[in-house]
Amino acid sequence: MTPDELRLAYLDFMESKKHAIVPSSSIVPENDPTTLFTGSGMQPMITYLLGETHPEGTRIANSQRCFRSQDIEEVGDNRHTTYFEMLGNWSFGDYFKKEQLSWFFEFLTKKVGLDPEKLFVTVFRGNDKLGIGKDTESVKIWQELFAEVGCTVEDVDFSERDGMGDGRIFYYDETKNWWSRAGVPNNMPAGEPGGPDSEMFYDFGAERQLHENSEFAKLPCHVNCDCGRFLEIGNSVFMQYLKQADGSFTELPQQNVDFGGGLVRIAAAQNNDPDVFVTSFFTPIIAKLESITGKKYGESEEVKYAFRVIADHVCAAVMLASDGVFPSNKEQGYFSRRLLRRSIRYIHTIGYDEPFLAELVDVVAEIYGKAYPSILNGLPQIKASFTAEEKKFQKALAKGLRHFTDLKVIDGESAFALYETYGFPFELTQELAVERGITLKQADFDAARDAHAAKSRQGSAGKFKGGLQDTSEIATKYHTATHLLHAALRKLLGTGVQQKGSNITAERLRFDFSFERVLTAEEQKTVLNQILEWIDKELPVTKQTMEKEAAIKSGAIAFFSQKYPDQVSVYTIGLDPESDWISKELCGGPHVQNTKEIGKLTILKEQAVAAGVRRMYLQLV
């Protein structure tokens, strides 16, 4: 199947199971101050998993675009990517294990056409200290499903210790078969939901001898082995527990299902090849790289590695740009810049030094443009931005070279500093060091990088402190304030002002909007005074669930209407949601109930962010 065919096959299948199909949320989460990117399909669904009513009902499905910045350094092997789509379906207190496991099995074997003999599953072993038992219920369901198609049904308790034997179903502890945004139960903050899961693996075959030829050859092979024989393709999470302040777990008011299936990984299984980069998600990009560089994907490990990095990174950068994230040195933009500069660095390693990014953007647009029209709509701006970044990086390399000549000490730390500051390739630092008679080891560079990463993790640990719960009140205030800011800007500057993005943290709100010039100090004062006046009026904030078309006809603003399902939540700020309101927008929340709850605000700054786009920061005082 092509990418569009495989994605559509899943969505059509879930629709046949009475699921409402909703669009992918933005890669940049608008309502979650705890993280920079949407890294899983469940992330935009967290409020519904905690009990809020979804406007489309209790059965929801989509294909969610995701980005995981922590995987950047892992890309280059045959399975890691930073950008991926997660096929997802959710039950908010509706169906549970029996339906979920049987439907996924049916989709893989009947719709995708996978051989059930090549499918293996894992379940939660249980943990007495957590007070959560062994998931024997899922085991029984899987045994029945596999027996129906004539497969073995044996379960194995400790395959990581004893090997697989004739097993089909394997128990693992919470490091493998538990899912929450924060990872294992002990790492979960109070207020964070999670639960045991059941994962599906595809077997690429013992005959490939992937285990025997790997560094793990002396250890037992099992489905969670890193030898490459097995590939996880889907994970059914039974999201039914909530972490308490004392470390214990209580049951959520409703039993939820949170399923995530890797779209590209399922394609690799259908292709019966462990290399995800030879699926149709990447082959057009790699073909263009072959044409540009004159190299062939399989001619050497060096070329193969470089092509994988470039194909993933450019694809990811295009997806980020389609959601308004362009190369910069701050927040999300930092990762866009890092992706593009790593791509340029790796194409240099195989001897190509000419501009190439814009050509790859066109290929990515061909693969994903039908499903995500925002890529096609933003194509000129994306290509111009990437080309400008290429030129900047060439200058940065020149600066790095000058900095190198001034170095008194050349070691792992200085090599990493060059890499971090200028994107200066370590391989180039190695070559220059040899000219000074110095041997620089990869291990020294890796140690400096790991030390830096450890400090970064410590510094960002607060990003997950308490999950959404610790900052929910502030985030809620800021989110409602963005609606007031939007309304005030449109009132002063005209209805041509349109929201172009927003980001909320515990410290401030950031709001991007279309406008051609800088706002004067007087205009900024007028906007702020208008917001404060509306707050002082103690205006009610009303939520309505409506058909999207009816909502728009009623006056609701929906500049991002393509993100919303047919049934939408409309938030109105004003005395009467039908006739006397100052703001009415399609939105997923969260919001205060009355503007008086927001409190006082001040404008921190107003600046340009792109051609025709301004950015304003507000903060509670």
CATH code at position 510: 3.30.980.10
Give the domain-ending residue among 442, 468, 494.
468
Q: Is residue 267 part of a domain?
A: yes
Q: Is residue 400 part of a domain?
A: no
Residue pair 292/350 in contact (Cβ under 8 Å)? The answer is no
Residues 455 and 480 in one domain: no
Q: Is residue 399 part of a domain?
A: no
Residue pair 154/238 in contact (Cβ under 8 Å)? The answer is no
Residues 220 and 84 in one domain: yes
pLDDT number for residue 475:
84
Amino acid 523 reads: E
Q: Which helix (H) or strand (E) holds 475?
A: helix 472-493
Residues 378 and 411 in one domain: no
pLDDT number for residue 563:
66
Residues 245 and 387 in one domain: no
Buried b (16+ CB within 10 A) or exposed e, 94-103: bbbbeebbbb
Nearest CA to 243 among 182, 172, 173?
A: 182
Residue 561 and residue 552: Cα distance in Å, rounded? 9
Give the domain-ending residue among 276, 293, 323.
276
Give the domain-ending residue among 393, 417, 435.
393
Q: Which domain holds residue 233?
A: 3-276
Given a cut of 50, the residues of the chain with pLDDT beneath it are 459-471, 561
Residues 372 and 456 in one domain: no
CATH code at position 139: 3.30.930.10
Residues 464 and 363 in one domain: no
How many domains in the chain?
A: 4
Residues 434 and 535 in one domain: no
pLDDT number for residue 472:
65
* DSSP assigned state of 75: B
Q: Is residue 402 part of a domain?
A: no
pLDDT number for residue 494:
92
Residues 270 and 343 in one domain: no
CA-angle at 349, arms to 347 and 353, nearest 5°: 50
Q: Which residue has the tokens 């590939």?
A: 231
* DSSP assigned state of 469: T
Residues 77 and 131 in one domain: yes
The pTM of the full predicted model, rounded to 2 decimals, is 0.77
Residues 46 and 61 in one domain: yes
Residues 424 and 551 in one domain: no
Q: Is residue 441 part of a domain?
A: yes
Residues 478 and 432 in one domain: no
In degrees and rounded to multiples of 5, residue 492 shows phi and psi of -85, -45
Residue pair 130/174 in contact (Cβ under 8 Å)? The answer is yes
